[in-house]
Structure 1
Amino acid sequence: MADIRSLFVTRLYRAPLADGGGRIDADELAASCLSIAEDDEAGQDWCEENGYPGYTSYASLTDLPWRFPIFTEVVRALDAHVAAFARDLAFDLEDKPLALQDIWINILPEGGMHASHIHPHSVISGTTYVAMPQGASALKLEDPRSARMMAAPARLKDAPEGLRQFIYVTPEVGDVLLWESWLRHEVPMNMSEDDRVSVSFNYGWG
């Protein structure tokens, strides 16, 4: 009888953000994200100059936890989730925990999308979801082996999840998703008339 095993597994972590601790008021977080977007003229200008749909604070505000207490609580919860994921991944961190590098707001309007990308120079990346209206985009994750598949045929539509080339994950408000930063991902077009709001982040080591 054949022995077939799964090797080099790609892990995806999903949990309620609140499970990480911290005093997180979902309504306060949502209101803060919208208020920041409205007041951040530098971020608005960057989005316009770069053809970025909606709004992101990625290129303008690098100190959200210092400016807004709600983000201090968000980071406290994220630290706990990232530490748990690092244990699951069996990382040997040599008593140097993973630390937050960047945290930023994303507001994606109807028709907006984020193209496929990775997060270089980081170890763990992720997103927590603030507003996910009906019809908002799922997160699309790509099999990291895709570039090496060469002449491989397509997978069956009903292939087991672990064998598919793309996985779509539909998060709920309050969820946090974590993955290793080399994992290519994208946000397909937002088909909702309402904004899709999230907070993304990177953690590094050393």
Structure 2
Amino acid sequence: MSQIESLFVTRLYRAPLSEYAPSVDAKELETSCIVIADDDEAGQEWCEEQGYPGYTSYASLTDLPWRFPIFADLVKVLDQHVMAFAKDLEFDLGEGKLVLEDLWINILPEGGSHGSHIHPHSVISGTTYVSMPEGTSALKLEDPRHAMMMAAPARVKSARREMQNFIYMKPDVGDVLLWESWLRHEVPMNMAEDERISVSFNYKWAE
């Protein structure tokens, strides 16, 4: 009898941020992101020089958890989500552990997008969603084998979810999404009039 099984699975973690303590006030987090963006002249200049739409603190502020208590609380919560995901992935961390490498704010205005990319020096990457206005863009995830499927036909539109070349995730405010850092992803154009606000992060393996 013939047999077909799925191999080399790609996992995606989704959960409410509030699943773990301490509580992170959503409104306070949103206000903090906006205030930081308004005050971060170095970040604004970097975005302008790079042609980056909207604002990111990625290249300017590397110590948000030290500067702002709400980000320190956020990291405590993210640590627990990452631990849960690492357990599901069955990582053998030995005597080491996964620790926060960097964390940054993203504010994407109407018409803004973030092109396809990976996070090659990290183990787990993710985003928690602070403001997702109606009509804003989802997260687009790409099949990691895509570049090697040079002669493969397109999938039928009704293909099973696990067989599709691209998956679009529309998170809710307060959700956290985690994936392995080699997974290529992008943020399509924000079609909403209001800003899309999120906080992204990377975790590395520290022995």
Aligned counterpart, 1:88: 88
Residue aligned with 2:200, SS: strand
Residue aligned with 1:98, SS: strand
Provide the TM-score with structure 2 as the length reference.
Answer: 0.99
Pairs within 5 Å for 1:65-144: 65-144=65-144
Deviating above 3 A after TM superposition, structure 1's stretches of 4 or more consecutive aligned residues are: none
**1:8-65 CA-partner distances (Å, limit 9, x unpaired):** 0000000001112112111100000000000000000000000000000000000000
- Which residue identity is paired with 2:157? K
- Which residue identity is paired with 2:61? L
2:3, 2:184 → 1: CA distance?
30
Listed as ranges, the gaps of 5+ residues in structure 2 are: none
Instruction: State whether structure 2 residue 38 is matched by structure 1 residue 38.
Output: yes
1:71, 1:58 → 2: CA distance?
14
Residue aligned with 1:183, SS: coil
2:152, 2:20 → 1: CA distance?
41
Q: CA deviation at 1:120?
A: 1.1
1:67, 1:21 → 2: CA distance?
20
1:178, 1:92 → 2: CA distance?
18
Listed as ranges, the gaps of 5+ residues in structure 1 are: none
Aligned counterpart, 1:59: 59
Residue aligned with 1:15, SS: strand
Q: CA deviation at 1:181?
A: 0.1
- Which residue identity is paired with 1:31? T
Q: CA RMSD in A?
A: 0.6
- Which residue identity is paired with 1:160? R
Percent identity between matched residues is 72
Provide the TM-score with structure 1 as the length reference.
Answer: 0.99
Aligned counterpart, 2:190: 190
Residue aligned with 1:205, SS: strand
What is the number of residues matched between the two proteins? 206
Q: CA deviation at 1:198?
A: 0.1
- Which residue identity is paired with 1:51? G
Aligned counterpart, 1:163: 163
- Which residue identity is paired with 1:91? F
2:129, 2:50 → 1: CA distance?
24
1:95, 1:132 → 2: CA distance?
39
- Which residue identity is paired with 2:69? P
1:104, 1:2 → 2: CA distance?
49
